Amino acid sequence: MSSMRTWRLTLSAILTWVMVAAFLVAPAQAAPVPKAQVPGAITSLGQSPDGYTLSTLAKRSKVTLDYSSLLPPKDTVKYKTLFIVVGASLKGFGSAGVNLDSEISRGKELIKIAKEKKIFTVVVHIGGEGRRESMSNMLLDAVAGQADYLIVLEAGNADDYFTKLSNEKKIPLTLVKNVLDVQNVLKEMFPVK
């Protein structure tokens, strides 16, 4: 009987410790998804196919957003919401006739005009770990810290880059487990009337 009681007390202590540890390491409560307005636009920064992917997800979500992989910064004034989808692709650079420097420059100009005109800016990273190499990171450094909202595939946040940025700059962050989950985020951002 004594060994059974000791075993129960030990098990109870272990379970209590596990629950406390889980609480201490649990991520902070996710910020609510902010509401956004149309008209909205999606552009790629880095010319990966991820911008087109977001465009497709928007269509499936019945959210009408214009897509231009090389949206000129001056054209952002037409919109109330701007999605900048970050991910570098050498093949995309070649096809679009751009390079890393010109894309960093365009990204900075997109953000500058969006801030001046109070355009709600969403930086999106759905390329996962594969799009977290040095070029993509340079593009992210140019724009992510000035976003109004971040949508990120969890696999692309293994180093907690986005979590730290969100906490430091007070930018709402939504992490998704699967790219298709972005559809639900878009539906929350642009509720159907």
The two structure tokens encoding residue 19: 């629950």
**Which of helix, strand or coil describes residue 46?**
coil
Q: Residue 193 has what pLDDT?
A: 59
**pLDDT on residue 128:** 80
pLDDT at 2: 55
If you classify domain 35-189 with CATH, what class do you get?
alpha beta
| pLDDT, position 30 | 60
Residues facing 148 on adjacent strands: none
Which residue's structure tokens are 């269509």?
A: 59
The pTM for the full model equals 0.83
Q: Which residues of the chain have pLDDT under 50?
A: 1, 7, 9-29
Per-residue pLDDT at 10: 46
State which H helix or E strand residue 27 sits in. none
Task: List the beta bridge partners of residue 84.
Answer: 43, 123
By CB atoms closer than 10 A (0-12, 13-18, 19+), residue 99 is middle
| pLDDT tens per residue, range 82-101 | 999 999 988 888 888 899 99
CB burial readout 17-38, b (16+ within 10 A) else e:
eeeeeeeeeeeeeeeebeebee
Respond yes or no on whether the N-terminal peptide bond of residue 39 is cis (omega within 30° of 0): yes
Q: For residue 132, what pLDDT is reported?
A: 82
Domain ranges of the chain: 35-189
